[in-house]
Structure 1
Amino acid sequence: MLRFGCSQVVIERLDPLVDPDMNPSAHMHQIVGGDAFNSSMPVADIAKHASCTTCHFLEDLSNYWTANLYFKARNGSYKRVPQMANQFNQGDNGGITIYYTSPGPNLTTAFKPGFRMLTGDSTRRTSENLGKSMQQCYRCFTKDNFGGSMYSPCMDPTYDTDYLSKQPCAGGIRSNIIFPLCWDGKNIDSPNHRDHVSHPVGGPTSFSVVTGACPASHPVKIPQVMLEVMWDTRAFNNKEDWPEDGSQPFVLSTGDKTGYGQHGDYVFGWEGNSLQTAMDSGCYLRNCSQLTEQAPQVKNRCSVPVTVKEHKDLDDWLPELPGGGGGI
């Protein structure tokens, strides 16, 4: 299993998978990875289009992006909740923690150049009732950034909504997003960015259970990708700033207050066979002699320019969510 941090490369209202060539797209995203990210990314070897990456390993020029989180104050205005560096990723400029998991050496096939996929549904507002096999889930840190075990079970958003209506997550909120682990072996994309991948027979597995059998329609096991976002909610712990009705004040950039609409996008961009080598070589967390590490101060310098002209600065108090909180 690889586990490593990718600093923020840009925060912008772009989505080259769902809304290619659209500037701006429907809602705000936080993006990490290579500097090839833009409103229209070719179905090609992205590693050859990028010159730097915000990820810990120099070979990973992929892009990963998720919805942002906002705080809705009592007066109806919105403020973006910043990401913070996850455990063992101190020094990163916010961003996302990335996991790649395999059941063992030579048991998964790394993604091919041009591969991309989407998981989650930005319009979902109810539970999928998957129990421990939830593919989007949360953890509320009640003491500090990393209160409790890093591997403690995720909670269904309903639990967190109920908890948050009573007291703040004093140390922050963690969001986990898990991708499917079976591939049809042919297509590097599909019209909805989902049909070329699949969950194992019997449905999704919980992280990091990657031993399920793949269906005949999608017989190739690929590394399980998981994204982990840490939101620093500590500036919003004063309940006098929360809605008067006592409801929890956090909303995704899609306008979703339930949390069920969290989703993740992925464009593969590892150089050559570097990911396959890492999956087959017993690499663990950030310990991988086959890959090249970058110091935080180096990867934090990689960025792409903001191209969407919003009415206000991204970190100002806003009268509404950017784009109005579009859920598509």
Structure 2
Amino acid sequence: MKTNSLALAVVSSLIGPCKAALRFGCSSLSVQRLDPVVQPGMMPSSHVHQIVGGNAFNATMNSAVELPAKLATCTTCFFAEDFSNYWTAVMYFKHRNGTYHRVPQYANAMLEGSTQGMTIYYTQQDFNSNGNQKITAFKPGFRMTVGSPTATNTATGLRYVCLQNSLTRFPELPEWPKQPCRGGIMTVHHFPACWDGKNLDSPDHQSHMYATTRDAFAPAGPCPASHPVRMPQVAYETLWNTTMFNDKSMWPEDGSQPFVWSFGGSATGAGTHADYLFGWKDDTLQRAMDSSCMFDACGQSVLKTQTPAQMNACKLKSTVNENVDGWLTALPGQGMPM
């Protein structure tokens, strides 16, 4: 069945010959209005983000000085040497009466412990091989984004899945599901993996990278001459527990879907986007990419790991004094008073 194809791919890759790829959980570090890539120094930023990874995360994260691998003292990620930061906008439910409630996350399937936050991937070609290309790890200070809150069409690789359970992976949808989902909603963010070989960032945080991404973790196309360096294919999966909002008496009277991103945006969900800030310690990511381990097995041979309790113990105090939970009269930063 297509629904379980990812789980089957995971299992087969663990027991058969394969090349390196990482799949691991990161529990929540913080939920607040900070964005050091798109709105550096702005406190608060324009909308709420859910953030995972190293606890050096702050409003500026100057690429030359505030390197996560140097300043972080803990990480919410399974691999203990990964102090990178990963963040997306936050999903809210809009009640028929006009109020908003943040949608919580829940743990993904087949992870190394019960973590609520995000699932992170660094793949090389697909789930079974890294192909015949050299994969170059990101450099200190590297950052990028994918998607845009002002987009009117959803880019390839940015998808929604109406879950039956945590193993559901298909069909991938370019828009919000239009009906209540039995197992919640999963959002997927695939980043570009072709680098220009020169710039750690660009003014739009995207031009230094080029996407040859295809949906559903299919092997990406070749990198163009303008961006010739193949880097790891970074992807996020976030499972949102929308089930508490499945009562359609709370949905809009016209039957339209009730979920919105923390920035508001298009009713279709086209503005879904995500940010990445590299922070692996020393050469650990490159060693992982050069190895023959697969997923959590990389923690048995190449990388250091930590327990879910250690992951969950790493937290970052909010620097923005506002309420982002409970029933709110407006989205934080989108008309809601401080």
Q: Which residue, out of 68, 84, 98, partners 2:120?
A: 98
Residue in 1 that maps onto 2:150: 123
- Secondary structure at 2:313 match in 1: coil
Change (3 A) 1:255 1:17: same
Residues 111-150 of structure 1 mapped to structure 2, 5 A cutoff: 111-128=138-155, 134-142=156-164, 145-146=165-166, 149-150=167-168
Residue in 2 that maps onto 1:240: 249
The residue identity in structure 2 corresponding to 1:102 is Q
Is 2:318 aligned against 1:306?
yes
Do 2:112 and 2:296's aligned partners in 1 also have CA atoms closer than 8 Å? no
Is 2:84 aligned against 1:62?
yes
Residues 285-296 of structure 1 mapped to structure 2, 5 A cutoff: 285-288=295-298, 289-296=301-308
Do 1:120 and 1:135's aligned partners in 2 also have CA atoms closer than 8 Å? no
Change (3 A) 1:211 1:318: closer
Is 2:326 aligned against 1:316?
yes
Q: Which residue, out of 48, 69, 74, partners 2:70?
A: 48
Do 1:43 and 1:114's aligned partners in 2 also have CA atoms closer than 8 Å? yes
Per-residue deviation, residues 143-162 of structure 1 (Å, max 9, x unmatched): xx32xx444341221xx44x
Change (3 A) 1:318 1:211: closer
Task: Report deviation, 1:111.
Answer: 0.2
Do 1:26 and 1:325's aligned partners in 2 also have CA atoms closer than 8 Å? no
Is 2:234 aligned against 1:222?
no
Q: Which residue, out of 33, 46, 51, partners 1:31?
A: 51
Do 1:138 and 1:176's aligned partners in 2 also have CA atoms closer than 8 Å? yes
Residues 168-247 of structure 1 mapped to structure 2, 5 A cutoff: 168-200=180-212, 204-247=213-256
Change (3 A) 1:31 1:92: farther
Q: Which residue, out of 37, 47, 63, partners 1:17?
A: 37
User: 2: CA distance between counterparts of 1:299 and 1:96?
Assistant: 12
Task: Report deviation, 1:112.
Answer: 0.4
Change (3 A) 1:141 1:150: closer
Is 2:284 aligned against 1:284?
no
Change (3 A) 1:325 1:118: farther
The residue identity in structure 1 corresponding to 2:318 is V
Paired-residue identity, %: 52
Is 2:99 aligned against 1:81?
no
Residue in 2 that maps onto 1:131: none
User: 1: CA distance between counterparts of 2:220 and 2:246?
Assistant: 41
Change (3 A) 1:282 1:267: same
Do 1:255 and 1:325's aligned partners in 2 also have CA atoms closer than 8 Å? no
Do 1:185 and 1:218's aligned partners in 2 also have CA atoms closer than 8 Å? yes
Per-residue deviation, residues 210-253 of structure 1 (Å, max 9, x unmatched): 45221111110000000101100111111111111111111111
Residues 238-277 of structure 1 mapped to structure 2, 5 A cutoff: 238-256=247-265, 257-277=267-287
Residue in 1 that maps onto 2:16: none
- Secondary structure at 1:195 match in 2: coil
Per-residue deviation, residues 140-184 of structure 1 (Å, max 9, x unmatched): 013xx32xx444341221xx44x32xxx11210000001001001
Gaps of 5+ in 2: 1-20
Task: Report deviation, 1:17.
Answer: 0.5
The range that moved more, 103-112 or 258-267, is 103-112
Task: Report deviation, 1:88.
Answer: 2.2
Aligned residues: 306
